[in-house]
Amino acid sequence: MFTGIITDVGRVRAVAHDGDTRFEISTAFDMKTVEIGASIANSGVCLTVIETGPDWFAVQASGETLSKTTLGDWRPGSRVNLERALKVGDELGGHIVSGHVDGVGEVVSIADDGESKRFVFRVPAALKTFMAPKGSVAIDGVSLTVNEVSGDTFGVNIIPHTQQVTLFGDYRVGSRVNVEIDMLARYVARLLDRE
């Protein structure tokens, strides 16, 4: 589990396709404190650490993960939002994020809104019913509050700090992003579907 509060922006340093895809990610994390088998959210995708170095770690992604996320777009040099797994007793600054991406969305507009920027995203049709004003969503692992919803699009405001310490400063219209709907919305929908 994660909180959606990004603690580092890493960079892909190597990609190898041999069965599953192996990514090596450069990071500022103290890798002496990261064990093999630990979970790290990589732009919202929970992946297992399989190897570490002094300033990097390696993970593997299956074909299923590549088909359901933006990881298939990653190349050496790609920037990655990173968050280590939540520990019992840690501050929950965002919302509960599982690291299980529900689909890939797209930036449809970016506009200045005071010092902030208003981002509008389009999500796959199957996800639009899970979006609600003032609900939570994770975009590339970043916990956000939904401002408004219109059909298959929703808007969020991003303050300057978030633009500087996450990938939001990199996004352009057309950028693809990993979307994880709010866990509570997922379970409520499932319960209603049973009736």
91 pLDDT exceeds 80?
A: no
Q: Please, what is the average pLDDT of the chain? A: 93
Distance, CA of 129 to CA of 188 (rounded, Å): 11
195 pLDDT exceeds 70?
A: no
Radius of gyration of the chain (CA): 16
Q: Specify the domain boundaries for CATH 2.40.30.20 within the chain.
A: 8-84, 103-194
Distance, CA of 47 to CA of 70 (rounded, Å): 13
Q: Tell me the per-residue pLDDT of 97-134, one tens digit each, with 9 for 90 and over.
A: 889 999 999 999 999 999 999 999 999 999 998 898 99
41: confidence class by pLDDT, cuts 50, 70, 90: very high
Kindly report the pTM of this predicted structure: 0.92
Distance, CA of 173 to CA of 94 (rounded, Å): 25
Q: What is the pLDDT of residue 104?
A: 98
Q: Tell me the per-residue pLDDT of 52-79, one tens digit each, with 9 for 90 and over.
A: 999 999 999 999 999 999 999 999 999 9
192 pLDDT exceeds 90?
A: no
1: confidence class by pLDDT, cuts 50, 70, 90: confident
Distance, CA of 95 to CA of 98 (rounded, Å): 10
Q: Which fold has domain 103-194?
A: Elongation Factor Tu (Ef-tu); domain 3 (2.40.30)
Q: Quick one: DSSP state of residue 2? A: B
Distance, CA of 9 to CA of 11 (rounded, Å): 7
Residues in Cβ contact with 20 at an 8 Å cutoff, skipping those fewer than 6 apart: 60, 61, 62, 63
Q: Which fold has domain 8-84?
A: Elongation Factor Tu (Ef-tu); domain 3 (2.40.30)
